[in-house]
């Protein structure tokens, strides 16, 4: 009997989720005696359930190399949650599909929710005594998975954010009467991405104020600080996480808008927290302001991805294959950082049970005075943004991979 | 008597305004027999009036090279408008300052308004019979100056926009039920920047719809097109200029908000036209939407600047010096494109009189069916985004120039 592998991508896309896909394919090819065919599921677990499976073995090496610079999830992503009840009929469909495609290895690239899916599948396969190794490959720009030093995807997003803050600082300081520029960064529950703005201080001043969701946002303290900074510098650069909350746990834009229903704030929520805080500063301090939302480019700006991040994403895919062939299952590949001056990670594993549905927030002892980030964070994050990815261009513009996506053939069931 | 030159930057900063500064300094140094000292005015014409003049001759060649990758206007910018009345007292102050610093050459790097300032100074110097050559060096991401094939600053902004649309397309197509993603691009009066999104079609599909300020925005037609595209593709990528207007010339967000004062639109204007149109699509078509404002990074993303643009900006500075030394004054340096297959520009000049306060809008015959851009534009714009700038990094992050900014010494007036 053949043993085939199936690769799934899910959750929000990043610039390196396709690099992990590359790492898996590339390594699996080397073990063709153990892994006969390499399949991909279109749109995560939905592809398996709905029989949208492609044969990745048909793709050429020349084309696959483009995965290393193609943002987004080339196999398509999903947010499908499997039932907690392992008797649910979806599991039966999955089992039939696994048998039909002779799957012996499932590789799921994703974040929290995807690890939960992988975990459920592991338990199900054990329950029905079906031999299929399940390995999770971490991926999220949010850097909020536990039991791992950092997640693939974070370094590239952090690099984009650090560069953008450096550039914004040089742009907004040109005016005699500059603006209070409030920049909104992704991260509902964890401040890792917003903190990355601090890396801009390596060669410049960096943001004047940085607000993460981990500490309650104090409006009065914020306005006092802005006022003081502006009177000294004639501009201010402020990083805010989209998820900052007041001391009762309400998102700050909701809290401010509720208190100002009939004034000029209106439904500023449409434009997010940067615009609500801009209005606040304008109304309360009478200063010129501008809201800037970094938005989707944070997670798809492949032209400035970190080579370290790409290489690590590839390696996470590679080690997933090796660990599966070594008989491991129900685990997520992890990276541990070695102690010592030089940055070095080793690739280990953690139980899916331990990682699914947990969130790693930003360390409170790295937050200074509610609005600044300590040098410990810079030491932690700086190695992750090193190295420039190779730009793969055609006519001077990015040329991404277009897989052939040839449908895989199921075993004829007797 | 010495003959010194003074360089001024004004208008909105770009990623190549400092490259033109570099071009001027580098060329002026070669002509030290004719140009004794190279001065810079801090914050444009304000620096001259308020005596904030620095001696750029003090800066080292090693440091100046960083100007080629430093975004923003390193000398600071201004939006000061000189009076139409040449008897205004500001002109007298300027004249005294020019005499004090023994200025024989003024180089103004800027857009429309700056060319107007340069023009007024030319007329004033003529009137008072003061021998000072005045040369304008074009700069604007908007590409809206007349008598020039394209403006320095546009190519880099266009490159950022084209790359970002390519990346966004790869990001938003990953979902089974994607979003109508409406991306707001700079450009109040001219659609050149928004049109640059079309370059993403070189290696992909590019935006499904593109709306420029040059043609009135038809809400009904827009909704019909979005509905049709979404039903086929399960997502839509739309580029809109911040300056799109209805058929009466009202900004579209004002027009929509006026008609919907009491509904869920509220004061969406805070978030700009992308959020207003997102609300429109959500309310009228019941589709998931997302507004993305490209915002300031369009004009300061130096990490992805076009090498062609940088070289041309340097050359415009260089030829400004040569033309001034050749006795020209009251002109702006221009670039003319040669006919033929290979892209080639020559550096000529136009009268400031002709360029000041004129706007070059996007050609109507390059707009297809109100919402697409023709291949003529691609042929026009593609050469402008070619070539990657050298990244100048320290610890993996951009290291920009920090000029010493040593105050220049005025001649002791007898």
Cβ A230 vs Cβ A286: under 8 Å: no
**Interchain contact, A270 vs B272, CB within 8 Å:** no
Encoded tokens for B23 = 């071009």
Q: How far apart are CA A9 and CA A226, in angstroms?
A: 42
DSSP state of B245: B
Q: How far apart are CA B370 and CA B130, in angstroms?
A: 51
Q: Residue A303 contacts by C-beta under 8 Å, 6 or more apart in sequence?
A: A391, A398, B163, B167, B303, B304
Cβ A280 vs Cβ B280: under 8 Å: no
Instruction: Give the B window 76-95 contacts with A, CB below 8 Å.
Output: 76-78
Instruction: Give me the residue label for tokens 């120039």.
Output: B401
Chain B within 8 Å of A397 (Cβ-Cβ)?
Answer: yes
To which H or E segment does residue A4 belong?
Answer: strand A4-9
Q: How far apart are CA A146 and CA A143, in angstroms?
A: 9
Q: A278 to chain B nearest CA, in Å?
A: 9
Mutation for B interface: A381, A396, A403, most B CBs within 10 A: A396
Of A71, A162, A293, the CB nearest to B293: A293
Instruction: Give the A window 368-387 contacts with B, CB below 8 Å.
Output: 382, 385-387
Question: Which regions of chain A are under pLDDT 70?
Answer: 1, 259-271, 412-414
The residue in chain A having the minimum alpha-carbon distance to the alpha carbon of residue B203 is: A399
Mutation for B interface: A170, A206, A290, most B CBs within 10 A: A170
Encoded tokens for B14 = 């770009």
Task: For A163-224, give the DSSP string.
Answer: HHHHHHHHHHTTSSS--EEEEEE--SS--HHHHGGGGGGGTS---SEEE-TTS---HHHHHH
Cβ A188 vs Cβ A359: under 8 Å: no
- Give CA B386 to chain center in angstroms: 17
ipTM above 0.90, yes or no: yes
| Per-residue confidence (pLDDT) for residue A264, from 0 to 100 | 45
Q: A265 to chain B nearest CA, in Å?
A: 7
Burial of B370 (0-12, 13-18, 19+ CB in 10 A): middle
Q: Residue A271 contacts by C-beta under 8 Å, 6 or more apart in sequence?
A: A291, A293, B268, B270, B271, B272, B275, B291
> Which residues of chain B lie closer than 8 angstroms to A43, CB-CB?
176
Cβ B167 vs Cβ B304: under 8 Å: no
The residue in chain A having the minimum alpha-carbon distance to the alpha carbon of residue B393 is: A203
Of A43, A162, A170, the CB nearest to B300: A170
> Which residues of chain A lie closer than 8 angstroms to B161, CB-CB?
none
> Which residues of chain B lie closer than 8 angstroms to A279, CB-CB?
270
Of A71, A265, A386, the CB nearest to B170: A71
Q: How far apart are CA B270 and CA A290, in angstroms?
A: 10
Of A46, A204, A271, the CB nearest to B400: A204
Instruction: Give the B window 216-245 contacts with A, CB below 8 Å.
Output: none
**Chains A, B: CB contacts under 8 A, how many?**
192
> Which residues of chain A lie closer than 8 angstroms to B170, CB-CB?
13, 70-72, 300, 302, 400
Supply the residues of B annotated as catalytic. 142
The string over A123-153, giving b where at least 16 C-beta atoms fall within 10 Å of a residue's C-beta and e elsewhere, is bbbeeeeeebbbbbbbbbbbbbbbbbebbbb
Q: Which of A187, A192, A179 is nearest to A238 (CA)?
A: A179
| Per-residue confidence (pLDDT) for residue B413, from 0 to 100 | 63
Cβ A313 vs Cβ A20: under 8 Å: yes
Give the number of residues written for chain A: 414
Q: Measured on CA atoms in the order A13, A15, A20, A26, is the torsion positive or negative?
A: positive
The string over B131-166, giving b where at least 16 C-beta atoms fall within 10 Å of a residue's C-beta and e elsewhere, is ebbbbbbbbbbbbbbbbbebbbbbbbbbbbbbbbbb
Chain A within 8 Å of B279 (Cβ-Cβ)?
Answer: yes
Residue percentage of chain A with pLDDT more than 90: 89
Q: B399 to chain A nearest CA, in Å?
A: 6
Per-residue pLDDT tens digits for B361-393: 999 999 999 999 999 999 999 999 999 999 999
Q: Which of A225, A140, A246, A229 is nearest to A190 (CA)?
A: A140
Chain B within 8 Å of A299 (Cβ-Cβ)?
Answer: yes
pLDDT tens, per residue, chain B with 414 residues:
679 999 999 999 999 999 999 999 999 999 999 999 999 999 999 999 999 999 999 999 999 999 999 999 999 999 899 999 999 999 999 999 999 999 999 999 999 899 999 999 999 999 999 999 999 999 999 999 999 999 999 999 999 999 999 999 999 999 999 999 999 999 989 999 999 999 999 999 999 999 999 999 999 999 999 999 999 999 999 999 999 999 999 998 888 877 665 444 444 444 589 999 999 999 999 999 999 999 999 999 999 999 999 999 999 999 999 999 999 999 999 999 999 889 999 999 999 999 988 899 999 999 999 999 999 999 999 999 999 999 999 999 999 998 999 999 998 665
Active-site entry in A142, A144, A208, A309: A142
Per-residue pLDDT tens digits for A102-155: 999 999 999 989 999 999 999 999 999 999 999 999 999 999 999 999 999 999
Q: A109 to chain B nearest CA, in Å?
A: 14
> Which residues of chain A lie closer than 8 angstroms to B270, CB-CB?
266, 268, 270-271, 275, 278-279, 291
| Per-residue confidence (pLDDT) for residue A270, from 0 to 100 | 45
To which H or E segment does residue B4 belong?
Answer: strand B4-9
Maximum C-alpha span of chain B: 80
Chain B within 8 Å of A67 (Cβ-Cβ)?
Answer: no
**Interchain contact, B398 vs A272, CB within 8 Å:** no
| Per-residue confidence (pLDDT) for residue A1, from 0 to 100 | 66
| Per-residue confidence (pLDDT) for residue A414, from 0 to 100 | 52
Cβ B374 vs Cβ B367: under 8 Å: yes
Q: Which of A156, A160, A117 is nearest to A19 (CA)?
A: A156
Cβ A109 vs Cβ A81: under 8 Å: no
Q: B128 to chain A nearest CA, in Å?
A: 30
The string over A192-231, giving b where at least 16 C-beta atoms fall within 10 Å of a residue's C-beta and e elsewhere, is bbbbbbbbbbbbbebbbbbbbbbbebeeeebeebbbebbe
Cβ B24 vs Cβ B55: under 8 Å: no
Cβ B154 vs Cβ B309: under 8 Å: yes
Beta bridge partners of B367: B373
Instruction: Give me the residue label for tokens 């992308």.
Output: B274
**Interchain contact, A272 vs B270, CB within 8 Å:** no
The residue in chain B having the minimum alpha-carbon distance to the alpha carbon of residue A276 is: B270
Q: How far apart are CA B222 and CA B339, in angstroms?
A: 37
Task: For A357-401, give the DSSP string.
Answer: T---PPPGGGEETTTEE-HHHHHHHGGGG-SBPPP-EETTEE---
The string over A272-300, giving b where at least 16 C-beta atoms fall within 10 Å of a residue's C-beta and e elsewhere, is bbbbbbbbbbbeeeebbbbbbbbbbbbbb
**Interchain contact, A203 vs B279, CB within 8 Å:** no
Collapse the DSSP code of A106 into the 3-class scheme (helix H, G, I; strand E, B; otherwise coil) and give the result. strand
Mutation for A interface: B156, B304, B397, B402, most A CBs within 10 A: B397
The residue in chain B having the minimum alpha-carbon distance to the alpha carbon of residue A299 is: B171
Chain B within 8 Å of A166 (Cβ-Cβ)?
Answer: yes
Burial of A13 (0-12, 13-18, 19+ CB in 10 A): buried
Per-residue pLDDT tens digits for B304-330: 999 999 999 999 999 999 999 999 999
Beta bridge partners of A291: A182
| Per-residue confidence (pLDDT) for residue A79, from 0 to 100 | 86
Of B9, B168, B268, the CB nearest to A296: B168
Q: How far apart are CA A232 and CA A319, in angstroms?
A: 52
DSSP state of A324: H
Encoded tokens for B306 = 């076009």
Chain A within 8 Å of B162 (Cβ-Cβ)?
Answer: yes
Of B202, B297, B400, the CB nearest to A203: B400
């Amino acid at each position: 009997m053949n043993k085939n592998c199936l690769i799934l991508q899910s959750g929000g896309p990043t610039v390196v989720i396709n690099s992990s896909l590359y790492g898996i394919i590339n390594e699996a090819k080397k073990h063709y005696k153990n892994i006969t065919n390499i399949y991909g599921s279109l749109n995560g677990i939905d592809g398996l359930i709905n029989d949208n499976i492609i044969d990745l073995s048909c793709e050429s090496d020349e084309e696959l190399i483009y995965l290393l610079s193609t943002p987004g999830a080339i196999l398509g992503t999903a947010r499908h949650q499997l039932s907690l009840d392992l008797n649910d009929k979806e599991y039966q469909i999955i089992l039939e599909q696994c048998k039909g495609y002779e799957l012996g290895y499932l590789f799921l690239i994703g974040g929290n929710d995807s690890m939960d899916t992988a975990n459920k599948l592991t338990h199900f396969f054990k329950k029905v005594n079906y031999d299929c190794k399940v390995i999770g490959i971490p991926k999220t720009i949010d850097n909020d998975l536990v039991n791992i030093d950092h997640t693939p995807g974070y370094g590239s997003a952090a690099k984009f954010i650090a560069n953008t803050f450096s550039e914004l600082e040089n742009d907004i300081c040109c005016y005699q009467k500059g603006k209070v520029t409030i920049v909104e960064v992704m991260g509902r529950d964890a401040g890792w991405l917003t903190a990355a703005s601090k890396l801009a201080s390596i060669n410049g001043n960096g943001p004047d104020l940085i607000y993460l969701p981990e500490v309650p946002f104090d409006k009065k303290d914020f306005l006092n600080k802005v006022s003081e900074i502006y009177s000294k510098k004639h501009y201010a650069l402020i990083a805010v996480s989209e998820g900052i909350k007041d001391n009762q746990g309400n998102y700050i834009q909701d809290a401010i808008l509720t208190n100002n229903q009939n004034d000029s704030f209106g439904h500023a929520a449409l434009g997010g927290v940067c615009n609500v805080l801009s209005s606040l500063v304008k109304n309360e301090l009478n200063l010129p302001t501008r809201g800037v939302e970094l938005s989707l480019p944070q997670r798809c700006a492949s032209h400035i991805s970190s080579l370290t991040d790409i290489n690590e994403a590839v390696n996470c895919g590679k080690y997933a294959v090796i660990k599966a062939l070594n008989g491991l299952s129900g685990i997520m590949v992890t990276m541990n950082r070695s102690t010592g001056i030089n940055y070095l990670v080793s690739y280990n594993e953690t139980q899916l049970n331990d990682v699914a549905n947990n969130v790693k927030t930003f360390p409170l002892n790295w937050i200074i005075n509610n609005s600044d980030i300590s040098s410990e964070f810079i030491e932690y994050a700086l190695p992750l943004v090193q190295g420039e990815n190779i730009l793969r261009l055609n006519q001077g513009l990015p040329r991404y991979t277009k897989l052939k996506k040839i449908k895989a053939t199921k075993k004829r069931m007797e």
